[in-house]
Chains A and B, each alone.
Chain A
C-alpha cells in the first residue's frame, strides 16, 4: 500500500512534464494511474470480506512514536475505492474540461498530490501519519481552489478554506496526541482494541471535542460550513472530487473510524446528533435559496454531511437509555450511514460534473437563465436525471434505498424518535426540491432567457463520466445485494465494533412499510414546494438576513480583528522612537531584577563606613574621595552641559578620574591604557563633533523627570549589587593560580600582561579582531557613499 501512495506522489510530481508531452491525451494518460489503483483495491474486496488483515509498517521516527504503518479494513477500502474510482473519472473529465488552461500541468500535479494524500489519510494506521496526510489534503485543496489565481475571489476563498480547516486540524493534532497518550498507543489498530479505556479516561471530553473540531471544520458542519460554498471558486472537477465526495468526507471518515472507541457515550450522541441535525436542515434550507448551480450543490453537500454526522450520532442512542434499546437499532444506523455515504458520493459527483457541462456549454450557471437544454445536450440530461432521481430517493435508484434505511433508523430511535424522523423527513423533502431545481429546471423547463451561445453536447469525456456515475447509482439500486453487500458488511462490523462479522442483507424493494409511505410523502411534498418555489423564497427572506450574521461573517470579523490588534500592537511597541525602546528595555530589566531582589530575604551589605572615627577614615581615603567627586562632577557635567565642548571635557574628566582610581588600587597597566585610550577618545570626539550641531534641550521636563527616576533606580540597583557581590567573596579565586605560575609557566613578571598574552590569549586575539573590524567599519562608513565614485 505504501508503494502505491508513493507511486501516486511521484506521478503527481511528474505530471507537469507528462501534460506537456501528451498534450490532448493528458487526461487519459494520467487517469490510468487511479484506474490501476482502483483495480488493485477491487481485488482486495474478497480478502477484506473474509476478514483478512492487510497491514504494513515501517519505523520512521521512534523517538516521536511515529512509524509509517498502514492498515486496510472495510471502511478504508470503501473510501479507497471511492477516491480512486471517482478520481479516475474526474481526471479523465478534467483532461478536456481544462484544455487550453495555462496551468493545466500544475493543476494535475496538485490533483494527484491530493489523491495520494487522501489515500494516505484513509489507509494510515498511525495517528500522526494520518494527521500528516490530513494537512497535505488541506494544502493541496488550497492550491486547487486557487487554480485560476488571477481572480481575487479565488485567492480569498482558497485562504479561507485553508485557515478554517487548518485551525480545526491544529486542534485535532492536540486531540490526537492526548488520545494517543491516554489510549496507550499511537496505532489506531491498538487503540480500537482498548475498549472502554478512552471512554472512562479523565480527559475524554477534551479529546472528543478537539478531534470533533478537526472533523467538523473539515466536513463543513454547521458553525464551520461557510468555507465550502466559497470553495466553489475552484474549477468544477475539483468541486466534484474534493468538495463533494472525498475531502469533505475525511472528517466523517475519522468520526466513523473513532466511533467504536470514542462513540456510544451521551456526549457523543448529543454533540453529533445536534450538530448533524442542524447542519442537515440549515444546509438544505439554504440550498433551495441559491440561484447558482454549484452553490446549490455545495449547500446540499453540507446538508448531506449533516445527515451522515446525524446518523453516526443516533447510532449511539443506546447510551442514552440502555434498557429500552432494540438490538438492531445501532445496526440500522450503521447500515444507513454506509449506504448513504456511497449513494451520496455517486450522485453528488454526477450532478457536479453535469453542472460543469452546463456551465461550459451554456456560459452561465444561474438556474434562472437556463432552460430546455435537454434537446441540445441529451446525454448530459440523462446523467442529470439519473443523479437527481437518486438524490430525491426515487425507487429504482440507490438513493431510494439510503432514504429508506435513514427513515427506518430514525423511526427505531427509543428517545425523541418522532422529532428525529420529522427532521429526516424535512431533509428528504428539501433534497427533492434541490434535485428538481438542478435536473428539471435547466433541462426540461421552458427557456427563460436566451443563453449566451447555442448549447451543444460536450465532447465525449465530459458526458461519459457523469453518465457512468449515474449508471452506477442505478445498478447499485437494482442489485444492492450482490454489489453493495460485500462492501457494507465489513464496514458495519467495524462501526459496531462487533467481534464476529455482522450479516447484512439489502433488498432492492423492501416492500410496503411505513418508511416507504414516509418516503413517497416526502417526494410529493418536495414536488409541491418546487412548484410554488417563488412564494417559498419570499417566505424564507428573514432566513437570508440570519445568514448575513451567520458564521461566514464571524470569520471575516475575526480576521479584521486580528489585523487591527496587530496594527495597534505594532504601533504601540514598534513605535520607531529609540527612547521608547530603551525605556521598555530599562523597565523590563528593572522589573526582572527587582522581582529577583524582592525574593531576597536578607540583603547582605556590610556598611564599612565606621561610625566612630569618620574624620580619620575620610582623611585616609582623601584622595579617593576627591577622585570620586571629580568623576561625579564629570558625569553631572556630561548630563547637563549645553555646549558640545563642555560635554566632551566632562567625559574626559570621568575617564581620567577612573584612571586615577585604577592607580590607587594597584593597576598600573590598566591606568596607562585608560589614560591613552581616553586621550584618543577625546581626540576622536573633537574631530567628529566639529561638524555636528549643538545639543538643544528637546524633551519635555516631565519626560526628563521620568527618565531621571528610572535611571536613578537602575544606578542604585547596580550599586546595591556591587556591595552585595563585594561582601559575598568565595576564598579560592582562580587568580591565585596566575599569581603563583606567572614566572614559572608564563616566564614573565608582569602578571597582568602574562594573563593577557599567555594564559587568556584567546581574549586578546578576539579583542584585536574587534579593533580591526572597527577600523574597517570606520573606513567603510566615511569613504563608502552610494553613488560617489570610489577611488579604490
Chain B
C-alpha cells in the first residue's frame, strides 16, 4: 500500500534526477525518460485498480498520525486523474522523441517533463492544503520553464503574462491557506472538513471559499480569470502545449472540485450557484473566442477554456441540494458529479490528441494559420481520420466519449430542473461543432494553397515527413482510447458514478484519512 501512493511522486523525481545527470547524452535521456513514464503508467493503473477494489486509500507520509503528518490520499477521482496524467505523459514523451529539437533536450526538457508529472501527481494525491500549495508551485515552476524553453519571441511574451497571473494566484492561495490555518489550526483537508464547521463561522468560511475560488479559478482558467491561457498556450512547441492543455488547468479544476465538495460545503446555495454562473460564462466566452480565431492552436486554446465550463457545471449543479434534499435530487447530483469526472477524463484524452495533431500539421506545412493550410484530406487521409475522432468527440457527436459526457451532464441538469444551464450547455455544444468544422474545412477540405511545400517533394518536406511516423503513434493510441471510452461507456461510467458518489459523501474521505477522528466525529454527532 505504501508503495502505491508514494510511487507516482517518487518515480518522476528519481527519473528527473537521473536525466539531470545525463543532460549531455541525448539518447540515454530519452530511454530513461520513456522507461520512467511507462513505469509511472503501470503504477497509476495498479493504484486505480486498488482504489476501485478497496475504496479510498490513505497513507501518512513519515508514519505520523493523520492531522499532524502529511497524508497521501487516493480516492477514485484522484486515481483516475493520476492515470490520465501518466497516459498523457507517455504519449507526449513518445511524441516529443521526434518533435523536440536538440537544444531543448540539452537544457533539461526531459527532467522538466518528469518534475511536472511529479507536481501534478503530487497535487492529485496530497491530502494537505499547504502541501497542495507546494506541489502547485512545483508544477507551476516546471511549466514556466517548459513554456520558455527555446526562448523564441512569442514564448517569452506569453510567459510574462502566464508567470505574473499565476504568481498572483499563488499569493492569494498562500494567503487563503494561512488564514485557514489561523482559524482552524490544522492543515489536513479531512481535518479541515471536520474543524471548519466546528468553528461555526459560516460567513468567514464563505470568504475563505471565495479566496480559494479566485486562486484555483486563475489556475483552472474559469471565466473572468482565463486570459493567461489563450495568450501563452499556443507559443511553445506542440508537445509542450499538449502536456499543458491536458494537465495544468485540470489540476485547477481538480482542486476546485476537491475543496468545494469536501471543505466548503456549508453554504451551497451561495457558493455553488456562483460556480454554476461562472461555468456558464466560461463556456460561452471560451467558445465565442474560439469561433473568431484563425490559427489552429489558438482555437484549441480557447476551446480548453470553454470545456472547463462544462467541468465545473457538474459541480455547480450541487446547488440544487440547497433547495430540495430529496432522494431524487441526490441521485441527480450524484449523476452530475459522475458526469464531471467522466468529462475530465474525456477532455484530457481528446485535447492532448488535438494538440498533437496540430503539431503534425504545423510540422508538415510550417505554419498554424488556417489561411495558409489546406489539402490534407487529399494528401494525408489517415491524418484526416485521426483528426476526425477527437474533433467530433469534442463537438459531442455520438457514439464518441464527448457525446456521453455532455449527455450525462444534460440528463442530470434536466432531472434537477436546471434548464438555463442545460440550454447554455447545448448551444455551446453546437458552437464547438461550428469551430471544429471550421478547422476541418480550412485545414483538411480546402485545396492546398499554391506555394505550400505540401505537394512539392522538396528536401525540406521529405525531412519533415520522416519524423512524422513516430509522432503519429501516440495520436493513434489516444484516438483508440477515445473510441474505447465512447463504446465501452457502460462499465467506465459505472466507475465515474462511483467517483461521483465518493465526492458526494465527504465522510468517506474523512474516515479513510483519519480512522480515529471518525470515532470522535461520530461521538460529536
Residues of A within 8 A of B399 (CB): 132, 136
CB distance from A362 to the nearest CB of B (A): 28
Residues of A within 8 A of B178 (CB): 725
Do B161 and A566 have beta carbons less than 8 Å apart? no
In the complex, 29 of the A-B residue pairs with CB atoms within 8 angstroms, ordered by the A residue number, are A64-B408, A135-B403, A136-B398, A139-B397, A173-B426, A181-B415, A569-B288, A570-B288, A574-B231, A582-B165, A589-B210, A593-B214, A597-B207, A721-B179, A728-B182, A729-B185, A730-B198, A733-B185, A762-B61, A762-B70, A763-B131, A767-B137, A769-B115, A773-B142, A774-B145, A776-B108, A780-B107, A786-B150, A792-B103
Do A171 and B426 have beta carbons less than 8 Å apart? yes
Question: A732 at interface (Cβ–Cβ under 8 A)?
Answer: yes
Residues of A within 8 A of B62 (CB): 758-762
| Most chain B C-beta atoms within 10 Å of own C-beta, residue among A173, A581, A758, A769 | A769
Question: A496 at interface (Cβ–Cβ under 8 A)?
Answer: no
Residues of B within 8 A of A732 (CB): 185
Given contacts A589-B214, A734-B67, contact A600 B187 (CB under 8 A): no
Residues of B within 8 A of A776 (CB): 20, 107-108, 111-112, 145
Do B411 and A177 have beta carbons less than 8 Å apart? yes
Residues of A within 8 A of B473 (CB): none
Do A63 and B493 have beta carbons less than 8 Å apart? yes
Interface string of A779-791 (1 = CB under 8 A from B): 1110111100010
Interface string of B425-449 (1 = CB under 8 A from A): 0110111011001000100011100
Interface string of A590-607 (1 = CB under 8 A from B): 001101110111000000
Which one of A59, A171, A582, A593 contacts B207 once the chains associate, using CB atoms below 8 Å? A593
Do A150 and B447 have beta carbons less than 8 Å apart? yes
Residues of B within 8 A of A566 (CB): 288-289, 291-292
Question: A511 at interface (Cβ–Cβ under 8 A)?
Answer: no
CB distance from A754 to the nearest CB of B (A): 11
Do B490 and A59 have beta carbons less than 8 Å apart? yes
Question: For chain A residues 24-71, which have a beta carbon within 8 Å of chain B?
Answer: 59-64, 66
Question: B387 at interface (Cβ–Cβ under 8 A)?
Answer: no
Question: B35 at interface (Cβ–Cβ under 8 A)?
Answer: no
Interface segment among B40-48, B220-228, B463-471: the answer is: B220-228
Interface string of A721-746 (1 = CB under 8 A from B): 11011101111111101100000010
Residues of A within 8 A of B138 (CB): 766, 769-770, 773
Do A578 and B160 have beta carbons less than 8 Å apart? yes
Residues of A within 8 A of B323 (CB): none
Do B108 and A163 have beta carbons less than 8 Å apart? no
Do A745 and B494 have beta carbons less than 8 Å apart? no
Q: How far is the CA of A573 from the CA of B183 in the complex (A)?
A: 37
Do B489 and A780 have beta carbons less than 8 Å apart? no
Q: How far is the CA of A166 from the CA of B434 in the complex (A)?
A: 10
Q: A132-B398, A596-B206 are in contact. List 4 more A-B contacts (CB 8 A).
A: A588-B224, A729-B183, A766-B122, A767-B134
CB distance from B404 to the nearest CB of A (A): 7
Residues of A within 8 A of B1 (CB): none
Q: How far is the CA of A734 from the CA of B207 in the complex (A)?
A: 23
Given contacts A173-B410, A569-B289, A785-B151, contact A766 B137 (CB under 8 A): yes
CB distance from B178 to the nearest CB of A (A): 8
Q: How far is the CA of A734 from the CA of B340 in the complex (A)?
A: 34
Do A574 and B397 have beta carbons less than 8 Å apart? no
Which one of B16, B107, B112, B415 contacts A784 once the chains associate, using CB atoms below 8 Å? B107
Question: B204 at interface (Cβ–Cβ under 8 A)?
Answer: yes
Question: B52 at interface (Cβ–Cβ under 8 A)?
Answer: no
Question: A376 at interface (Cβ–Cβ under 8 A)?
Answer: no
Residues of A within 8 A of B429 (CB): 170
Question: B483 at interface (Cβ–Cβ under 8 A)?
Answer: no
Do B182 and A729 have beta carbons less than 8 Å apart? yes
Question: A344 at interface (Cβ–Cβ under 8 A)?
Answer: no
Residues of A within 8 A of B414 (CB): 174, 177-178, 181
Residues of A within 8 A of B447 (CB): 150
CB distance from B435 to the nearest CB of A (A): 9
Q: How far is the CA of A163 from the CA of B441 in the complex (A)?
A: 14
Residue of A nearest to B106 (CB): A792
Question: A403 at interface (Cβ–Cβ under 8 A)?
Answer: no
Question: B8 at interface (Cβ–Cβ under 8 A)?
Answer: no
Question: For chain A residues 335-366, which have a beta carbon within 8 Å of chain B?
Answer: none
Given contacts A596-B203, A596-B210, contact A588 B225 (CB under 8 A): yes
Question: A131 at interface (Cβ–Cβ under 8 A)?
Answer: yes
Residues of A within 8 A of B398 (CB): 131-132, 135-136
Closest 7 CB pairs of A and B: A733-B185, A777-B145, A725-B182, A766-B134, A149-B445, A566-B292, A600-B203
Do B68 and A734 have beta carbons less than 8 Å apart? yes
Q: How far is the CA of A569 from the CA of B292 in the complex (A)?
A: 10
Q: How far is the CA of A581 from the CA of B131 in the complex (A)?
A: 28
Residue of B nearest to A718 (CB): B175
Question: B474 at interface (Cβ–Cβ under 8 A)?
Answer: no
Do B141 and A770 have beta carbons less than 8 Å apart? yes
Do B150 and A784 have beta carbons less than 8 Å apart? yes
Do B141 and A763 have beta carbons less than 8 Å apart? no
Number of CB contacts from chain A to chain B under 8 A: 288
Do A174 and B410 have beta carbons less than 8 Å apart? yes
Question: A466 at interface (Cβ–Cβ under 8 A)?
Answer: no
Question: A672 at interface (Cβ–Cβ under 8 A)?
Answer: no
Question: A576 at interface (Cβ–Cβ under 8 A)?
Answer: yes
Give the interface size bracket for B toward A: 35 or more
CB distance from A116 to the nearest CB of B (A): 12
Do B142 and A728 have beta carbons less than 8 Å apart? no
Question: B31 at interface (Cβ–Cβ under 8 A)?
Answer: no
How many residues of A are in contact with the other chain, CB < 8 A? 101
Which one of B270, B392, B430, B494 contacts A170 once the chains associate, using CB atoms below 8 Å? B430
Residues of A within 8 A of B115 (CB): 769, 773
Question: B274 at interface (Cβ–Cβ under 8 A)?
Answer: yes
Residues of A within 8 A of B338 (CB): 63
Q: How far is the CA of A61 from the CA of B494 in the complex (A)?
A: 8
Residues of A within 8 A of B161 (CB): 578, 581
Residues of B within 8 A of A737 (CB): 68
Residue of A nearest to B214 (CB): A589
Question: B213 at interface (Cβ–Cβ under 8 A)?
Answer: yes
Do A745 and B185 have beta carbons less than 8 Å apart? no
Residue of A nearest to B12 (CB): A769
Which one of A146, A760, A770 contacts B69 once the chains associate, using CB atoms below 8 Å? A760
Which one of B160, B183, B292, B335 contacts A728 once the chains associate, using CB atoms below 8 Å? B183
Do B186 and A783 have beta carbons less than 8 Å apart? no
Do A64 and B411 have beta carbons less than 8 Å apart? yes
Which one of B61, B291, B489 contacts A61 once the chains associate, using CB atoms below 8 Å? B489
Q: How far is the CA of A163 from the CA of B175 in the complex (A)?
A: 47
Do B228 and A581 have beta carbons less than 8 Å apart? yes
Question: B521 at interface (Cβ–Cβ under 8 A)?
Answer: no
Residues of A within 8 A of B431 (CB): 562
CB distance from A345 to the nearest CB of B (A): 26
Do A728 and B199 have beta carbons less than 8 Å apart? yes
Residues of B within 8 A of A60 (CB): 489-490
Do A772 and B150 have beta carbons less than 8 Å apart? no
CB distance from B37 to the nearest CB of A (A): 18
Question: A225 at interface (Cβ–Cβ under 8 A)?
Answer: no
Q: How far is the CA of A763 from the CA of B218 in the complex (A)?
A: 23
Question: B184 at interface (Cβ–Cβ under 8 A)?
Answer: yes
Q: How far is the CA of A553 from the CA of B361 in the complex (A)?
A: 35
Question: B422 at interface (Cβ–Cβ under 8 A)?
Answer: yes
Residues of A within 8 A of B67 (CB): 734
Residues of B within 8 A of A569 (CB): 285, 288-289
Do A576 and B493 have beta carbons less than 8 Å apart? no
Question: A257 at interface (Cβ–Cβ under 8 A)?
Answer: no
Do B494 and A769 have beta carbons less than 8 Å apart? no
Q: How far is the CA of A563 from the CA of B217 in the complex (A)?
A: 27
Question: A625 at interface (Cβ–Cβ under 8 A)?
Answer: no
CB distance from B100 to the nearest CB of A (A): 13
Residues of B within 8 A of A177 (CB): 410-411, 414
Given contacts A150-B447, A563-B292, contact A163 B434 (CB under 8 A): yes
Interface string of B124-151 (1 = CB under 8 A from A): 0010001100110110011011001111
Q: How far is the CA of A175 from the CA of B224 in the complex (A)?
A: 32
